[in-house]
Amino acid sequence: MRVIVDVAIIPIGVGLSLSRYVAACEQVFSAAGLEPTLHANGTNVEGRWDEVMGAVKRCHEVLHEMGAPRVATNVRIGTRIDREQTMADKLESVRTKVGQ
């Protein structure tokens, strides 16, 4: 099952600057062979369920290893079986309509 996911990760108990942790999670996705697309409030990733969600788990583990005692993540997960759809397809589909 393929999945399109949006991940927003917040380490708790490490102060105010979170970017180092978000960057570490980006690198987890890349190391997993995924191609994360960072945006201002999260990261988009697509792929097979187990790979993508396995990388999300790895993000929690890595942030804990970096010293975050607590990690809170908000994940939007989308799956569909009617047809194949990539993140690029989704974007294109909206953009054509905004342009009208």
CA 31 – CA 24 distance, rounded (Å): 10
Q: Enumerate binding residues for a second copy (CB under 8 A).
A: 1, 4-6, 8, 10, 12-13, 15-20, 22-23, 26-27, 37-42, 44, 46, 49-50, 53, 56-57, 60-61, 64, 69-82, 87-88, 90-91, 93-98, 100
Cβ at position 34, least distance to a second copy in Å: 13
Token pair of 41 as six digits: 């409030």
Residue entry with tokens 């108990």: 13
Closest CB to a second copy among residues 34, 56: 56
Nearer to a second copy, 32 or 46 (CB): 46
Find out whether 25 and 59 touch, Cβ atoms under 8 Å. yes
Of 14, 13, 10, the closest CA to residue 60 belongs to 10
